[in-house]
Each structure stands twice: as structure tokens, then as C-alpha cells.
Structure 1
Amino acid sequence: MKDMSELFWQASLEEIKQGFVFDNNTGEYICLLCGKAFTDGLIYSQDNQLYEARKYIEVHILRQHGSTFHYLLDLDKKLTGLTDHQKTILELFYDGHSDNEVAKALDTGSTSTIRNHRFSLREKQKQAKIFLAIMELLGARVPKKNAFINVPRNSKNIDDRFAITEQENEKILAAAFPQELHGQLATYPLKEKKRVAILRHIVKNFDSAKAYTEKEVNAILKELYEDYVLLRRQLIEYGFMDRTQDGSSYWIKL
């Protein structure tokens, strides 16, 4: 299965469809399919033609990946939810074949079978939209996962999933920061309870009386862990930090 980057999962639907994102901090267009970056303002040459970065990344995707459609279609079934048969049908549809031509290519002998496939795929699309809406509503409804942090230890509002003893906390941090507590993060575990403990420690690198730009936040987190984007996102998600809607200012939540 292809290794999907954190940047891919953070991208919007439109960005995934186009296959790239623009990073305002670095001024780069980044390919979501392979991670290659092209700097805005530079001119790139291909086959004796010159391209600005925005156009060149489209050329890159076409030459290196064929198309975003084919790249996504080729992902593992665990990610797409599609069978090999459905993938074949979708590829034939994408190439512009009629129902009759698809039926002949698949040797089904019936265009009505292909029409049924079209209908089933449209139903799957509708279900996906509804599921996305449900999950976004759920995400907006769930209380902050670290609600216990800013309340007294004996408060009934403490989320017991993330309440840990001092001994547990020391053990988690010792494993995550084997060199020194103020050094680099060696491992970022999948278990949420451990992540919360690590994030609570990481946030100490910021001044609670100061507002930071996204670039400043990234610079601090880069010193701790290579996937600084993941750390930045989770500091927000778990309520340790907050930011303006446009991401121009970040601050510690007290």
C-alpha cells in the first residue's frame, strides 16, 4: 500500500483532486502524490518550454503520475473501498468509453449491467458525501479531548481517558525523548493518551503571553520532530493551542 503523507490527509477535497497544495510558509507548490516541491517565482524548463511553478507542478503530475485520477484509483482497496472490477470500470468510464464499449471490454454482453454499475457508483458517491457530513458534525460535537488539563484534578469534568499519574507521565516522556526532555522527539506513538502527554510537554516550548505566526510555530516544532505539521495540527485539535481562522496567528490556550 502506498505511504500517504500527513500533508495528503490534511489537504482539502479540491487539493486532492488537483494533486498538489501551496504552502504559504515556504512559498512552494507541493505534490501530494510524491512530495516534490516547486518554488513559487522560479521558472522551470521542460522539453524546451518554460513554466511558472503553478503550471509546472501540473506538468510534473502528468509526466510522473499520469493523472491524479489514476494515482488515486491505484491506491489500496483499504483506502478506496473499491474492488478490482470496480476500478476497471471506473478507468474505462474515465477514458470516455460508452456503456456498450465497456460491456464489450469486460465481455459482459449487456449494457444494462454497465448501467447498473454506473447507478451503484453514484449511490456510493452520495453515501460518501453523507458520511463526510456526519463525521464533520461529530467532530464539531465532541468535547475537547484534553478538557481535564485546565481544571482542578478533582473536577468531575476530567476526561479519564487522558488522566495519568506523574509516574506514567514520566515514563511516556522518557520513551518519547530518550536523549533529553528538551531534545528531539524520537517517537510519536499512536495511542492518544501518550500523545496528549507528549503534546502537554511540547507546548511548554511556547510563551503563553505571546502570539506566534505559523512560520514561528513551525520553526519551534521543526526542532523537535520532522513531521512538525502533524504536531502543529494536533496541538490545535487537542486544545493546547488556538489560532485565527486564516492561520495568521497562534497562541497558547490558558
Structure 2
Amino acid sequence: MEENNQLWDEEIDTIVKGYKETNEHFVCVLCEHVFEKGRIYKIDGELYDAYGAVKKHMQAKHGETVDYLLGRKPELIGISDIQQRILILMSEGKDDKAIAKEVGIAHSTVRNHRYKLREKEKQAKLFVALMQSLEEKTKRCIQQSNSGIIENLHDTATMMDDRYAITDSEREKTIKAYMDVNGAIKQFPAKEKKKIIVLREVMKNFIKDREYPEKEVNRILQRMYHDYATIRRALIEYGFLDRSDDCQTYRVKE
């Protein structure tokens, strides 16, 4: 079964629900199917609004989220093959005795796996807390560095590391090397830090709290660089621009 890699970027609560709501859509996060608000959908002879349609879609195509996740490769969610099988049987409401008989293991082994899975759940919570705390600390350390950082990190940066520790000197040299006096890009740099410097300059052409159709984004970027699609992708990748679920509009990410 094809994996939806973008699923892992969603919040835990959203993954559990199986869908998310935007200003204009309901989106199934398990397969990225989009349902437009204000539109009526006919499914199996019944009429549904976008909310009803995404719920019906979830039920018909994926079942419950637990069923979908247990259908993934076990290594993607950090469990063994036998733990996956035990969890599937648990989701079917079977007790330890029935699970032991069906899997062909001792009753005590089932209990031991239950214990290990509970411990894994606790560890996962602490690991998420650790990584979030690490990101916050890294951000503070970069901002407090005495190396002459040119500006605070943008809050939507996709990674907080030393690529963002940019000095005034680095900024000036990079802009001079890769951009002309009119702000056009002579060459898009390969190194991460230099990309970020150039992208920050590009973002001066966009206004917050405004939606840009893709054609307008392309026109703005095409004035600056011939391969505007590369710049557009980079602006999204590095957390400068946000793209709507239907890929039609863009806005400055906040």
C-alpha cells in the first residue's frame, strides 16, 4: 500500500481524527483527498456537505484511523511484526487468551508485549517533548549568539539550526554574489545558509495577510529568476510561504 509521507507532519490529534479543516476545505490526512466547503457531494445515493463527505470517505475508504495505521509497515510506527499482529487482535476486542491462541504464543508473552507497548507509549511522549524542547533551545541559542545574527529566525522555519546563524557580513557577501542591484537572482546558491539569505530577500516581495494565486506568485518570482518553480518550492520547503491544500493559493507563513 502506498504510504502518505505527509501524514507524519500532522499534529497527533489530527492524525487520530483522520481529517483536518482549513478555511475552504476538509482534507483527509490519510490520503489527502480534498472536500470543498459549500459543495454538495453525492455518495452512495446520499447527499453530504464537505464535513459529512470527508467523514463518509474516511469510513468507506480507511475505516477507523487505528485500522489504517495498523495496515502500515510496522517499522514506520516503530513496532515489531508480532506487536502489530497483537495490536490488530486487540483492536478487534480479543482478550489475551484468545490473542495467545491465535498468534501461537504463551499467555504470559502477550502480557509482556502489552507492557512493552505501554512503555513505548510513555517513551514516545517524552521523546516528542524532548525534540520540541530541543528545537526551542536551539532557536534561543542561535538568536542569542554573539556572532552578529542579522535578524530573528522566522517562526515558521522548518528547522532551527546553525544554517540560520547568519551574520551581517555573510548576508552582504551572499547578496552581492548571487543577486544583482535590481534584486534579481543571478544564480540560486547550492549551500543551505546562502539559500536562506537569498530567500529572505525574495520574501520582501510578498505582503503578510494576503493570498496570492499561483500565477501571481510565478509572475513575481519569474521577474527575479528564470527557474521560478525552484524558488517557489524552496520558499515552501524553508517555511517562508504556505500553500493551500488545493495548491492554488499561497500566503506568507506565520
TM-score, normalized by the shorter chain, greater than 0.5: yes
Give distance in 2, aligned partners of 1:86 and 1:41. Answer: 43
Give distance in 2, aligned partners of 1:227 and 1:71. Answer: 35
Give distance in 1, aligned partners of 2:19 and 2:253. Answer: 28
Give distance in 1, aligned partners of 2:62 and 2:231. Answer: 24
Give distance in 1, aligned partners of 2:22 and 2:131. Answer: 26
Question: How many percent identity over aligned positions?
Answer: 27
Match of 1:201 among 198, 201, 222: 198
Shift of 1:217: 9.7
Contact 1:44 1:51 (C-alpha < 8 Å) held by counterparts: yes
Contact 2:164 2:193 (C-alpha < 8 Å) held by counterparts: no
Aligned residue number for residue 238 of structure 2? 234
SS of equivalent to 2:93: coil
Pair 1:126-2:122 in alignment: yes
Pair 1:63-2:75 in alignment: no
Give distance in 1, aligned partners of 2:104 and 2:116. Answer: 19
Number of residue pairs aligned between Structure 1 and Structure 2: 215
User: Which structure 2 residues correspond to residues 4-15 of structure 1 after superposition, within 5 A?
Assistant: 4-6=4-6, 8-15=7-14
Q: Give the gaps of 5 or more residues in structure 2.
A: 152-161, 222-227, 242-250
Aligned residue number for residue 71 of structure 2? 74
Contact 1:221 1:232 (C-alpha < 8 Å) held by counterparts: no
Contact 1:40 1:53 (C-alpha < 8 Å) held by counterparts: yes
Q: Give the gaps of 5 or more residues in structure 1.
A: 152-158, 174-179, 241-248
SS of equivalent to 1:50: strand
> CA 1:235–1:106 in structure 2 vs 1: closer, same or farther (change >3 Å)?
closer
What TM-score does the superposition give when structure 2 sets the normalisation length? 0.66
Give distance in 2, aligned partners of 1:170 and 1:3. Answer: 41
Aligned residue number for residue 245 of structure 2? none
Backbone CA RMSD of aligned residues = 4.2
Pair 1:93-2:93 in alignment: no
Aligned residue number for residue 135 of structure 2? 139
Aligned residue number for residue 16 of structure 2? 17
Shift of 1:92: 0.6
SS of equivalent to 1:143: helix
Contact 1:199 1:235 (C-alpha < 8 Å) held by counterparts: no
Give distance in 2, aligned partners of 1:230 and 1:62. Answer: 36
> CA 1:81–1:61 in structure 2 vs 1: closer, same or farther (change >3 Å)?
same
> CA 1:226–1:80 in structure 2 vs 1: closer, same or farther (change >3 Å)?
farther
Shift of 1:235: 3.6
> CA 1:221–1:196 in structure 2 vs 1: closer, same or farther (change >3 Å)?
farther
Give distance in 2, aligned partners of 1:61 and 1:76. Answer: 20
Shift of 1:200: 2.3
Pair 1:49-2:46 in alignment: yes
What TM-score does the superposition give when structure 1 sets the normalisation length? 0.66
Aligned residue number for residue 244 of structure 1? none
After superposition, what is the alpha-carbon deviation per residue over 1:29-54, rounded to whole angstroms, capped at 9, x for unaligned? 12222221110121111111111111
SS of equivalent to 2:21: strand
SS of equivalent to 1:29: strand
After superposition, what is the alpha-carbon deviation per residue over 1:133-180, rounded to whole angstroms, capped at 9, x for unaligned? 1111111111366875517xxxxxxx589777958x968x9xxxxxx9
Letter in structure 1 aligned against 2:127:
F
Contact 2:163 2:192 (C-alpha < 8 Å) held by counterparts: no
